[in-house]
């Protein structure tokens, strides 16, 4: 039984999730529209989601008005 588990392949993560999967914190696939959006009837609005910038990078950036 232990050997069977080792033979199972892991699902490859996509580089970027679509906006719907990202919002729902669910696994997305590489195709656009993704399989989840097609299944839910959201294929026409399935686009790559926007990446958020890490908080430590936001704090390090100088402020636009010249104060830091």
**Count of CB atoms situated within 10 Å of the CB of 40:** 13
Q: What pLDDT does residue 56 have? A: 86
Residue 18 CA to its chain's centroid (Å): 6
Please tell me what DSSP assigns to residue 10. P
pLDDT digits (tens, 9 = 90+) for 54-68: 888 887 766 666 555
Q: What pLDDT does residue 53 have? A: 83
Q: What pLDDT does residue 52 have? A: 82
d(CA 28, CA 34): 7
Residue 40 has φ and ψ, to the nearest 5°, of -95, 5
Q: What pLDDT does residue 44 have? A: 95
pLDDT digits (tens, 9 = 90+) for 3-56: 556 677 776 667 889 999 999 999 999 999 999 999 999 999 999 998 888 888
């Amino acid at each position: 039984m232990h050997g069977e588990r080792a033979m199972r392949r892991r699902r490859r993560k996509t580089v970027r999730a679509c906006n719907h999967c990202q919002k729902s914190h669910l696994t997305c696939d590489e195709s656009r529209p993704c399989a989840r959006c097609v299944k839910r009837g959201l294929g026409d609005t399935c686009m790559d989601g926007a990446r958020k910038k890490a908080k430590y990078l936001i704090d390090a950036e100088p402020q636009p008005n010249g104060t830091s």
